[in-house]
Amino acid sequence: MKYLVTIVLFFIGFGNGFAQSGLIPQPVAYHRNSGEFTLTALAKLSSDSGVPAALLKLTQEQIRSLTGFTLPVSSTNASISLKIDSLKVSQPEGYHLRIQPKSIELIGHDQAGLFYGVQSLVQLISQSSDLRLPACSIKDYPRFSYRGMHLDVSRHWFRVPFIKKYIDLLAQYKFNTFHWHLTDDQGWRIEIKRYPQLQETAAFRSQTLIGHKRELPHRFDGKKYGGYYTQDEVREVVRYAAQRHITIIPEIEMPGHALAALSAFPALGCTGGPYQAATFWGIFDDVYCAGNDSTFTFLQHVLDEVVELFPSKYIHIGGDECPKTRWKSCPKCQARMKHEGLKDEHELQSYFIQRMEKYLLTKNREIIGWDEILEGGLSPGATVMSWRGTEGGIEAMRQKHKAIMTPEMFVYFDFYQSLYPQEQVAAAWYTPLSKVYSYEPVPDSLTQEEASYLLGVQGNVWSEYLSTDAKAEYMIFPRALAVAEIAWSPKTGRTYTDFLRRLRKNESLLKRLKVNYAKVFDEITDTVLVTAPGKIQLRLKTTLPQATIRYTTDGSEPQATSSIYTSALPIPKTQTIRAAVFQGKVQQGRVFEKSFTISKSTGKPLLLATAPKGNFIPSSSLVAVNGVQGTARYNTGEWLGFLGENAEWRLDLQKTETVSVISINVLKYHWQRFWEPTALHMLVSEDGKNYREVYQHKDFPINGINEIKGQFQPTRARFVKIKAENKGIVPAGEYGAGNKAWLLMDELIVN
Ligand code: ACM
Ligand code: ZN
């Protein structure tokens, strides 16, 4: 038997070169060789002359933090050697790492490559409980030259020790860029010596929203909030990052997201103020006045100091979410448009960005802007950060502009990573680890030449709901590790399953570094299936190996003795399924819960006269009759959303029944452009031709889910029709005014 096990291991080890590596990101090539290197306090480090002392010291420090001993540096008898050789290792940022029973040899193409080799070595050390490192040879280099993570420090701000810890973690996973979002409506976070008012006023807001912004009426904590990084702190962070081969790209937002700056300099806004730094989250109409030359002077003076602090080739100047409301009625902005021959406010925004680009070019810097900078014409040398999807990036590359992919549906970490209701409050959508990992940054639709403008990929961390370091870490990790792998590792030869295996090996390092990472990636996920009219099933899944799912159907807590899930569960009646993952008798993670309401409508054919749109396209219209109701979190895939159009649903009960209650839910969140219908009609028919209205509803008072229940005299019906009249266009004064309103409905229940 032992013989057989050895053979199996042999095949895993050699049959698949990757199978034994615990590294994230997965290296380009990994080969396990026989034997092990045992790391002890007697090992010595040597380095050639090209290796900077700082890198050697950092290497010693990283190894010490894991092993407890500081390896001495010695030119003789050193078992661990560090070298730089751009001929032996031809790819920039690349390295070769060879671990043999008596030696470890690490060669970098450049200092960065050597540093990344050290990071791989450190990960391997962290994964060996007895410091016996498997002999192996690794050849590695990055897929993309831009591997970024972002952090918004305006909505909540994070002190220098946290920023350094973040940088350490980014470096460990071979990111090379930190995008520091330093200014926004809710606070200005960088010291600008020329303008002390930024520190005194713009860095603070009077109070902060409590809970999610969808909860109305808004509640506030009444506490002044704020702070900023001094220039000394910024310099220290930039130096710290550079040592770890991380470039920091600062973002100074313009022309929108500027309320905090305007609170200190009201003359720079179109109306002249007064303004207050925002106390809640969203997009605000008050932006920098583009007609006022003082705006440009101010921003140029700010950038003068910013470029002195940050040596990065790129400066990010924002450009996103700038409402044109004020510009439309501002005499100065209108005069500017006339004088410059600009045909609309989008061109005015383009003028704004181009003017700033020209200024930064005099300082030898290039600009990055969010994809809105395409509107009204792209600034000549601008790099586009594609966030609203991938279209902006694609368009930029077609125009021969550089692009960085950061599409919100894949790499925004303010979105939920679990659908469990216990999750900490998050922005909106559902982006589990698996979805992040599935993202492929190179769009299919581009030619090779066009795609050569793609610099890389970045994960974004907006901090509206990240009021503590722990909350931020929870949202960032481990999803950032998926971005690290997408950004570094070749597209082929890696799988999500193997990534998870390596992630589990990386947990020891994350724990050592005291990272409050989310351990939810193996939690139960589910699919609700309509298998036949009237018949639904619940399918459950966990990615945890050697685990069983146990469940109950009576609402009780699952135990180690509860039924074992083996195949999809039929749901014949209204009930709640609770389930948990067990390894042996030990429950792993939280309890999954799903409630079903089964009625005459469940699983029956449903026709939609108009098509759902955007993020509210269900996997099938049957989602509206699958027994599961959409929740206030609206990200579960249950809501059907109609954009600017009426909804008309026709349900076929498939036989004539006696019907007396029809219910349906409507989700109303004006802040998200989800509007109640102006009227909702319920109709029934026996023949599918002649319909009779049995109920009509016009009152939707609840901010959130409005449960509409039409009760009427029992009547014979085979067909049920729901007609809901969309609000159409969002009215003036409301969020998203002038745009189409969403109408969200789910779960048609008939009894
Ligand atoms: C963004 O998320 N507004 C760039
Ligand atoms: Zn103006």
**Percentage of the chain with pLDDT > 70?**
97
The reply to whether omega before 605 is within 30° of 0 (cis) is: no
Q: Tell me, what's the pLDDT at 658?
A: 98
Average pLDDT (507-515) is 96
Average pLDDT (30-47) is 95
Average pLDDT (185-207) is 98
C-alpha 286 – ligand 1 centre gap (Å): 17
The Cα–Cα gap between 106 and 51 comes to: 11
- Class of the 21-140 domain? alpha beta
CATH topology for the 525-596 domain: Immunoglobulin-like (2.60.40)
**Above 80 in pLDDT, residue 11?**
no
Read off the tokens for 110.
Answer: 């450049």
CB-ligand 1 contact for 370 (6 Å cutoff): yes
pLDDT class for 14, splitting at 50, 70, 90? very low
**Above 90 in pLDDT, residue 214?**
no
**Above 90 in pLDDT, residue 349?**
yes
**How distant, in Å, are the alpha carbons of 182, 300, 358, 704 from that of 598?**
51, 63, 63, 23
Q: Tell me, what's the pLDDT at 5?
A: 43
C-alpha 276 – ligand 2 centre gap (Å): 18
Considering every ligand atom, which ligand is closest to the CA of 179? Answer: 1
Considering every ligand atom, which ligand is closest to the CA of 270? Answer: 2
pLDDT class for 1, splitting at 50, 70, 90? very low
C-alpha 315 – ligand 2 centre gap (Å): 24
Summarised one tens digit per residue, pLDDT across range 249-302 is 999 999 999 999 999 999 999 999 999 999 999 999 999 999 999 999 999 999
Report yes or no: 574 and 597 within 8 Å, Cβ to Cβ: yes
The Cα–Cα gap between 111 and 125 comes to: 21
Average pLDDT (411-420) is 96
The Cα–Cα gap between 96 and 120 comes to: 10
Q: Tell me, what's the pLDDT at 8?
A: 41
Is 98 strand, coil or helix?
strand
- For the chain, the maximum distance between any two Cα atoms, rounded to a whole number of angstroms, is 96
Question: Which protein residue's CA is at the shortest distance from atom 3 of ligand 1?
Answer: 320
Summarised one tens digit per residue, pLDDT across range 657-683 is 999 999 999 999 998 899 999 999 999
**Above 70 in pLDDT, residue 68?**
yes
pLDDT class for 572, splitting at 50, 70, 90? very high
- Terminal alpha carbon distance of the chain: 62
Residue with more model confidence, 459 or 16: 459
Q: Tell me, what's the pLDDT at 345?
A: 96
Ligand 1 atom at minimum distance from 408 CA:
2
Chain region(s) in the chain for CATH 2.60.40: 525-596
C-alpha 262 – ligand 2 centre gap (Å): 12
**Above 60 in pLDDT, residue 15?**
no
Chain region(s) in the chain for CATH 3.30.379.10: 21-140
Looking at domain 146-512, what is its CATH homologous superfamily? Glycosidases (3.20.20.80)
How high does pLDDT run on average in the chain? 95
pLDDT class for 2, splitting at 50, 70, 90? very low
Summarised one tens digit per residue, pLDDT across range 588-641 is 999 999 999 999 999 999 999 999 999 899 999 999 999 999 998 888 899 999
* Region 606-750: CATH code: 2.60.120.1190
List, as one string, the DSSP characters of 493-540. S--HHHHHHHHHHHHHHHHHTT------TTS-EEEEEEEETTEEEEEE
The conformation of residue 200, written as its DSSP 8-state character, comes to I
| Tally of helices (H runs) and strands (E runs) in the chain | 18, 34
What amino acid positions are annotated as catalytic residues? Answer: 184, 257, 321
Q: Tell me, what's the pLDDT at 18?
A: 44
Report yes or no: 246 and 172 within 8 Å, Cβ to Cβ: no
Q: Tell me, what's the pLDDT at 671?
A: 86
In this prediction the pTM is 0.94
Report yes or no: 530 and 603 within 8 Å, Cβ to Cβ: yes
CB-ligand 1 contact for 416 (6 Å cutoff): no
CB-ligand 1 contact for 320 (6 Å cutoff): yes
**How distant, in Å, are the alpha carbons of 19, 134, 245 from that of 5?**
16, 18, 43
